Homo-oligomer: A and B are copies of this chain.
Amino acid sequence: MRHAVILAGGWGERLWPLSTRERPKQLLSLVGDCALVRQTLERVRNLVSMESALVMTGATLREAISRELPEIPSERVVGEPVGRNTAPAIALAASLVVREDPDAVLFVLPADHVVREPKAFSDALTLAAEAAEVERALVTLGIEPTRPETEYGYILTGPASSLPGVHHVERFVEKPDAATAGAYVEDGHYLWNSGMFVWRADRFLKEVEHRIPEVWNALQRVEAEPRDQDFNDVLAAYYDACPSVSVDYGIMEAASDVLVVPASFGWDDVGAWSAMPRIWPVDEAGNAARGETIVLDSSGCVIDSESGIVAVLGVDDLVVVRTADATLVCPKSRARDVREIVRALRERTV
């Protein structure tokens, strides 16, 4: 059976002040009219059963996520006591699902991405699931690039696989500099690494066993716990024992037989405020504005007001975001550095 594993950890600090630890990015409706995590679930509604979906999130967000996704049994919203990046979370999810369904195929999906063409997305996931089932391969979705983005990792595609529309992965490549990104887009064989994966749970766990033994060992201890053990204690021990490692670094870059489904479905990771002109309507001067705003003699700005009026006059390529608690102002080109503000705030409150 096919199951959804939704990765809803982290909080999207580069979208501060709208995104906060208490109200993280995945709970915001940056586009559309509901939270990104709900949009993520809606997109796979016809592909998996809601009852068997698993959501991996931070312990402090469990309640809020459960409220947002009432159709998912609350015990299937797993609250990580500490963040250990994606590999331990996916490994735990795989081990939980495989107990119930030894033939389980997992759709591993970040909770905070935007997909503008859900039908194309659903088709790509279905094709990937077939590849995972037929080839027993690790499968990833690769996005056909539309610009020389330097903030994404890339996937170099290799030869076609036996399944039409599916390719072997030649290799994963790190975030490139601008010139290299341009060359990748030019080349035509590079895809964006979307961070979305499809695989059999058992196959993935085999990879974990070989490539991240600390995580595997921690999983064995979870398995060994009596089933009536308090699950919070089990979780605490597991995450305590796991190193922090991403699935990209820990598994994908090292694994053989990785397949990729190249696709275009209006994907965006909305990683920073500079993404908004791609997902919000823009005026003729290139300003993307939301909420109560006054925009005079300005161009290329991203302006968001959640509360009160934001008025800008005579500025270009600026991000201005106002919430009930804070206002952010920075050039669009510095949008990735908003975490520096978050860090300064944290130091101030310590």
Contacts and interface: CB of A to CB of B under 8 A. Distances in A.
Oligomeric state, in number of copies? 2
Interface string A170-211: 000000000000000000000000000000000000000000
Contacts of A294: 341, 344-345, 348
Nearest to A303: B329
Nearest to A348: B294
A327 B310 contact: yes
A213 interface: no
A318 B313 CA distance: 10
Interface stretch (A100-108, A146-154, A214-222, A331-339): A331-339
A309 interface: yes
A145 interface: no
Contacts of A17: 309, 311
Interface residues of A, number: 34
A17 to B, nearest CB: 7
Interface in A300-348: 305, 308-315, 318, 320, 322-331, 333-334, 337-338, 340-341, 344-345, 348
A267 to B, nearest CB: 27
A313 B326 contact: no
Contacts of A328: 311-313
B330 A305 contact: no
Given A308-B324, A324-B308, A325-B308, A296 B344 contact: yes
A160 B215 CA distance: 91
B313 A329 contact: yes
Given A296-B340, A315-B318, A309 B327 contact: yes
Nearest to A16: B311
Interface of A: 17, 294, 296-297, 305, 308-315, 318, 320, 322-331, 333-334, 337-338, 340-341, 344-345, 348
The 6 A-B residue pairs with the shortest CB-CB distance, nearest first, are: A313-B330, A309-B326, A314-B334, A311-B341, A312-B329, A322-B327
28 contacts: A294-B341, A294-B345, A294-B348, A296-B340, A305-B327, A308-B324, A308-B326, A309-B326, A310-B326, A311-B326, A311-B327, A311-B341, A311-B344, A312-B328, A312-B330, A313-B328, A313-B334, A313-B337, A313-B338, A313-B341, A314-B333, A314-B334, A314-B337, A315-B318, A315-B330, A315-B331, A318-B329, A320-B329
